Structure 1
Amino acid sequence: MKEKVRSSAKGGVLPGFEDFTVYSDVRYLPVGCHPAYLSEGFVGVCTGGSAVLDIFSVRRRVSKDDLVVVIPHMFAVLSEKSDDFAMLFFKTSYTLFMDVLSGMCRPTLDFFFYMRQHYVFTLVESEVERFRNFVHALACKAGSETGHIRRESVILLLRVFYWDIFVQFKKEAVRGGIRYGHKEELVYKFLNLVTEHYSTNREVSFYADKLCISPKYLTMVVHDVTGKSAKECIVEHTLLEIKSLAFFASQSLLSRFFRKHTGMSPSQYREQAHL
């Protein structure tokens, strides 16, 4: 695997590799002020200030000594961030995250729904210190080992961390605290497919075929769960991804960029979703 050489810790980034890196600068968080599906997950402790984090429709305020655990493919936005907001955190790719989970359990939809609700935990001082030591151990392994050994070392350490969360999830499941139906499961699979294929496939029929259902039924189910049509979800995700590619100082700059890549303005593109 090709190594990415990172800057020193003074720059807010510790040594890492393609699927994993430790940071102390919130500018590197994979979640921003625009709602988007996250291709990476992150875990960190707030070391100062505060911010409001939304995962789908679940809003949490993150304050000092709060632990935040966000897995990949969550729909997230970070808002109301204070000027002194700070975190010590690490990011994991979707591939690495699934490799971590696969050695512990078979990932299921109910675990995904559990993590939508339970992603902020308040720690006591001793727990914060243990987390700092844990992150330091991860950074040492990510920076000192080489190749396959380095990646496996990080995976083994991450399994220790996620195992505690998985145990809490199983306890909640036994109590019957996690509920979802067939429609929610279908929408979850649809949104994951959109995240994976939106750049090359933007027709509802493509996703309906992947799910072995009719486009009409997919649109109905998505609307029942989200309040939007399947086409609107695809369009909105495409718009959000384009916005996240670069910073636009004005709406006119975004419109020109969007027209260049799609042949139409954002408003025209949205209108197509209602045809």
Structure 2
Amino acid sequence: MKYIDDINLFKSNKDFVAEIDMTGSLGRIYHYPQRMEGCLFLLCLRGECDITIHLSEHKIQKNDIVTILPETFVHVHRQSPDCRLYLIGFNKELLNGINLFNSTMNYLSALIDTPIIPLRPEITELFQDYFRLLIKMKRMGAKPNKELISTMLLTILHGVGSIHQNTNVTTRTFNRGEEIVKRLVQYIIKHYTKERSVAFYADLLHISPQHLSTTVNKITGKTVTDIIAKLVITDAEAKLKSTDLTIQEIAYSLNFPDISFFGKYFKRYTGMSPKQYRENG
């Protein structure tokens, strides 16, 4: 059985990747957090996969379709032995060419909030037929022009988007506390590399730090600092494992004043130093 050695080929000169994972490749590639460099679609035919997408843990099951957008952190915790997944990915350059925001503005927030949606079996078959076609094109070796590949990408995006718009996936209403947490996470994702102060995020939300802390703890059972740290540590882990940046460069990229402060912060949440994590984690 063919192994997918690296689906993080969005960094290379390939416009898209299309394969079926029958050997647990997704779990091997993303067994530590990594930042998604392109746009990845997964279609589960059977089995299960436990995955963290940004800060949220999910279980992928049969007939689920998954949309993982660029700059999203991905970490696969477990992939069952019988798991079968179609993997279709497009690189960031291609996404820039179609102007992702304008192309998906009607349902982009739904894709971010709900990256995994269950499909009816007959809809799964439609996506499966389309993904099979992409896999055949990829294996033929001929390189389609970018316009054709862009059309393929938009077809999948609009297909998933129409499911969001025509089902109750996007109709859930949030109470005030849940809305605060949702907006907090959005702000943290945007600012975590520069800001780790509870007061900063409370100010963005126009509420007091105490109100923010109490609300977050009530809704999530976590502190605001815990949520910020989760993303900071995830980013640090990804850079330690998947880049050649020095530990000092990683510390500065996350706005730590020096390598010592970064090391203490990292060890507090992981139990090991950045160097130990890079070598053995």
Global fold match (TM > 0.5): yes
Q: Using the alignment, how far apart are the partners of 1:233 and 1:94 within structure 2? A: 31
Further displaced range: 162-171 or 82-91: 82-91
Q: Using the alignment, how far apart are the partners of 1:231 and 1:178 within structure 2? A: 27
Unaligned runs of 5+ in 1: 1-8, 249-253, 271-275
Identity in percent: 18
With over 3 angstroms needed to count, the CA separation of the structure-2 counterparts of 1:121 and 1:194, relative to structure 1, is farther
- What residue in structure 2 maps to residue 211 of structure 1? 205
Residue 42 (str. 1) matches residue 37 (str. 2): no
Q: Using the alignment, how far apart are the partners of 1:186 and 1:52 within structure 2? A: 27
Contact 2:42 2:86 in 1 (8 A): yes
1:70 aligns with one of 60, 67, 70: 67
Q: Partner letter of residue 166 of structure 2?
A: K
Q: Deviations over 1:50-69 (max 9, x none)?
A: 5333552542335xxx5532
How far the C-alpha of 1:229 sits from its partner, in A, is: 1.4
Residue 89 (str. 1) matches residue 83 (str. 2): no
Q: Using the alignment, how far apart are the partners of 1:125 and 1:176 within structure 2? A: 23
1:171 aligns with one of 126, 149, 166: 166
Q: How many residues align?
A: 244
With over 3 angstroms needed to count, the CA separation of the structure-2 counterparts of 1:11 and 1:226, relative to structure 1, is closer
With over 3 angstroms needed to count, the CA separation of the structure-2 counterparts of 1:74 and 1:188, relative to structure 1, is farther
How far the C-alpha of 1:191 sits from its partner, in A, is: 1.8
With over 3 angstroms needed to count, the CA separation of the structure-2 counterparts of 1:90 and 1:101, relative to structure 1, is same
Contact 2:49 2:61 in 1 (8 A): yes
Q: Using the alignment, how far apart are the partners of 2:193 and 2:227 within structure 1? A: 13
Q: Using the alignment, how far apart are the partners of 2:34 and 2:27 within structure 1? A: 13
- What residue in structure 1 maps to residue 189 of structure 2? 195
With over 3 angstroms needed to count, the CA separation of the structure-2 counterparts of 1:52 and 1:10, relative to structure 1, is closer
Q: TM-score, normalised by structure 1?
A: 0.63
Q: Using the alignment, how far apart are the partners of 1:82 and 1:237 within structure 2? A: 26
- What residue in structure 1 maps to residue 153 of structure 2? 158
- What residue in structure 2 maps to residue 80 of structure 1? 78
Q: Deviations over 1:37-87 (max 9, x none)?
A: 86754103458875333552542335xxx5532233767542332467564
Q: TM-score, normalised by structure 2?
A: 0.62
Contact 1:41 1:71 in 2 (8 A): yes
Tell me the secondary structure at the aligned position of residue 68 of structure 1: strand
With over 3 angstroms needed to count, the CA separation of the structure-2 counterparts of 1:221 and 1:139, relative to structure 1, is farther
Further displaced range: 238-247 or 89-98: 89-98
Contact 1:58 1:116 in 2 (8 A): no
Q: CA RMSD for the aligned pairs?
A: 4.7
Q: Using the alignment, how far apart are the partners of 1:15 and 1:36 within structure 2? A: 13
Contact 2:38 2:90 in 1 (8 A): yes
- What residue in structure 2 maps to residue 132 of structure 1? 132
Tell me the secondary structure at the aligned position of residue 228 of structure 1: coil
Contact 1:37 1:195 in 2 (8 A): no
Tell me the secondary structure at the aligned position of residue 167 of structure 2: helix
Q: Deviations over 1:199-221 (max 9, x none)?
A: 22222222233334333333233
Question: Where does 1:1-275 land on structure 2 (aligned, <5 Å)?
Answer: 21-24=16-19, 32-34=30-32, 41-45=39-43, 51-53=49-51, 56-61=56-61, 66=63, 68-72=65-69, 77-82=75-80, 87-91=86-90, 93=92, 96=95, 99-100=99-100, 102-107=102-107, 109-110=109-110, 112-113=112-113, 115-118=114-117, 127-134=127-134, 143-145=143-145, 150=146, 153-173=148-168, 177-247=171-241, 260=260, 262-268=262-268
Unaligned runs of 5+ in 2: 252-258, 271-281
